[in-house]
Amino acid sequence: MRKHLPKIFLVLVFLFFYLPIIYVVFFSFNDSRSLTNFTGFSLQWYEKMFENRTMMESIYYTVVIALIATVVSVIIGTITAIGLSKSRRLVKEFIGQMNNLSMLNPDIVTAIGLMIFFVTLNIETGFMTLLLAHIIFCIPYVILSIMPKLRQLDDNLAEAALDLGCTPFQALYKVIIPQIKPGIFAGALTAFTMSFDDFVISYFVTGPGINNISTYVYSSVKRINPSVNALSTIIVIGVTVVLILANVIPIIKERRLSKRLKMQ
């Protein structure tokens, strides 16, 4: 018994983590509105979800904003990180502290800061402010992911490229960028998830009629709405499939590679 105690503990912790997820999936197939009594199987909440325009729009905005915010923050973040790696210490420190401020600030403080900023400057809140806010909070994480890769980079490589007749732009494009690709990729992944998951900042900077999934869920829980369960189930399945693929594909590739090596 004592030997199994750690395993039992671990199982209980995992149960705690997965209980609400299982619960949501289960009740998304419920026949009635109830969140405590399972009265029978039905797909009506899925139907209702697809018929609900605000809900479908919230999914659309979440994905579109996450995609654009990722692309833009990766471009600005990569350019800045490369510049930073060549900058003087003072500038490095300044930008580092500024990024820390952005990342360590409680979300709600960042959120009200941006809200005050947009409203004071008479910028109408809505899609553009939501997108801009997401780009603003994603960039520091992109820079954070790329900097370690740049530190490992041999300075002479870019110098060599210039000596061999590359323009600075070509040196950047053909030598530096390919070497820091893993960092850029990790940054893109972080940016995408940060944007996809964000609630607090979106809640304060969005305008009327523009919702992402988080703000939609928040605004619709005042009354019980089982379609949220259906929406959650679809997110759960989507995320699980993506994560399994992301973890399984490298293993399969590796196996194939080792097989090929053995055959040779």
Partner 1 sequence: MRGFRRLIIPYLIWGVIFILIPMLMIVFYAFVEKGNSVLTMRFTLDNFLRFFEDSIFIEVLLRSLKIAFITTIICILIGYPTAYIIAKLKPASQNICVLLITLPMWINMLVRTYAWRGILLESGLSPEMKVYIGMVYNFLPFMVVQIYTTLSKMNKDYLIAATDLGCNSRQAFMKVTLPLSIPGIISGITLVFLPAVSSFFIPKLLGGGSFVLIGNLIETYFLTAGDWNFGAAISLIMTIVILISMFITKRFDHEKEVDNA
Site pattern 47..76 for partner 1 (x: CB under 8 A): -----------------------------x
Residues 132-151 that bind partner 1 (CB under 8 A): 132, 136, 139
The stretch among 63-71, 122-130, 177-185, 229-237 that binds partner 1 (CB under 8 A) is 229-237
For position 3 contacting partner 1 by CB under 8 A, the verdict is no
Among 79, 160, 245, 249, binds partner 1 (CB under 8 A): 79
Please state, in angstroms and rounded to a whole number, the distance separating the CA atoms of residues 112 and 203: 10
For position 165 contacting partner 1 by CB under 8 A, the verdict is no
Please state, in angstroms and rounded to a whole number, the distance separating the CA atoms of residues 85 and 87: 6
The stretch among 39-47, 64-72, 210-218, 252-260 that binds partner 1 (CB under 8 A) is 210-218
Q: Which is nearer to partner 1, 116 or 252 (CB)?
A: 116
For position 101 contacting partner 1 by CB under 8 A, the verdict is yes
The stretch among 38-46, 47-55, 96-104, 178-186 that binds partner 1 (CB under 8 A) is 96-104
From residue 131, give the alpha-carbon distance in Å to each of 40, 136, 244: 41, 9, 29
Among 69, 74, 114, 138, binds partner 1 (CB under 8 A): 114
* Amino acid letter, 172: L
For position 175 contacting partner 1 by CB under 8 A, the verdict is no
Closest CA to 32 of 46, 22, 42, 20: 42
Residues 242-261 that bind partner 1 (CB under 8 A): 243, 247
Among 108, 160, 245, 257, binds partner 1 (CB under 8 A): 108
Among 15, 56, 64, 109, binds partner 1 (CB under 8 A): 109
Q: How far is the CB of 205 from partner 1 (least distance, A)?
A: 10
* Phi, psi torsion values for 81, nearest 5 degrees: -60, -40
